[in-house]
Amino acid sequence: MAFPVPDHSATALAELVSLDGRVAVVTGGARGIGAGIAARLAEAGAAVVVADLDGDEATALAKELGEDHARPAIGAPVDVADGAAVAALADLAVDTFARLDIWVNNAGIFPHTGPVADADAAAFERVMAVNVTGMFHGAREAARRMVAGGSIVNLSSITGLAARAGLTAYSTSKHAVIGLTRNLAKDLAPRGIRVNAVAPGLIVTPGLLSGSAGETRSAATMAERPTAPLGRHGLPDDVARVVLFLVSDLAAFVSGATIVIDGGDTA
């Protein structure tokens, strides 16, 4: 039987998961989930552009990745809500590495806006600008430069599947990310670009514990919160491994999907 696309059924697993020769951009990549994703992509062989609002942290992580995995990596500052800045980031990736294959829209903010009757409209708009429009900017600029096809992964959340009180702005934005992902998958399929999303549950990151994610949680508080059916909270690498699957040839026929990563919490 002739296949209209390459048949991977005889391809070795090591080759399917390999990202050798590919170039990836990870936004919000300097810490937490983004840093975990950048590390796994570099380990799999990709040249990685670590992009973050904190350019110094992004550059420091890129240097570390280059040393750990013997793969080229650079850091760059970016505010994903700024379309021109995202375009410049995409140009930097292509100018530096001569191609672009993978774009991970990880950057996002997580404010507790409180009950909707008391919520601030400006705060709501900022969340949408970063968490939704920022992903639109990333997908658009990546698609314009993925001349040989590619893969885009958007970070949603389990709050994009089920609402949570006090998180109207954040939950709305993450619902929108899932809708954006589905539409992008349809729109970009003729270009050979796959678009998927992941929806993490509670993932323990330094930002979550320090309060920079919008909420301070001590280790004791985390221990008291009911855990997922698997008996623990998630870690950044739990998300990173799924992202690696989605951008690799293991997922060559997966597009428009949202994969929940919550240890069965929403099952």
> What residue spans define the domains of the chain?
21-203+235-261
**How many whole angstroms from its chain centre is CA 216?**
23
- As to burial, measured by CB atoms within 10 angstroms (0-12 exposed, 13-18 middle, 19+ buried), residue 194 is buried
Structure letter (DSSP) for residue 227: P
Distance CA 48, CA 37 (A): 10
pLDDT surpassing 50 at residue 202: yes
Residue 109 neighbours by CB under 8 Å, 6+ apart: 126, 127, 130, 131, 170, 214
Looking at residue 209, its pLDDT comes to: 57
Q: Supply the pTM of this predicted model.
A: 0.92
Looking at residue 113, its pLDDT comes to: 75
Q: Which of these, 193, 107, 88, 109, lies nearest to 154 by C-alpha position? A: 107
Query: What are phi and psi for residue 192, nearest 5 degrees?
Result: 75, 25
Distance CA 121, CA 3 (A): 51
Q: Which of these, 178, 189, 200, lies nearest to 253 by C-alpha position? A: 189
Task: Give the residue-averaged pLDDT of 57-64.
Answer: 98
pLDDT surpassing 90 at residue 267: no
| pLDDT band per the 50, 70, 90 thresholds, residue 222 | very low
Task: Give the residue-averaged pLDDT of 231-244.
Answer: 96
pLDDT surpassing 60 at residue 221: no
Total residue length of the chain: 267
Least trusted range by pLDDT, from 1-5, 79-83, 232-236: 1-5
Helices (H) and strands (E) counted in the chain, each on its own, are 10, 7
Residues 151, 154, 107, 18: what is their CA dihedral angle, to the nearest 10 degrees?
A: -40
Looking at residue 227, its pLDDT comes to: 72
Distance CA 201, CA 183 (A): 23
Residues classed as catalytic: 170
- Structure token digits, residue 28: 């919000």
Q: Which CATH architecture has domain 21-203+235-261?
A: 3-Layer(aba) Sandwich (3.40)
The SS3 assignment for 14 reads helix
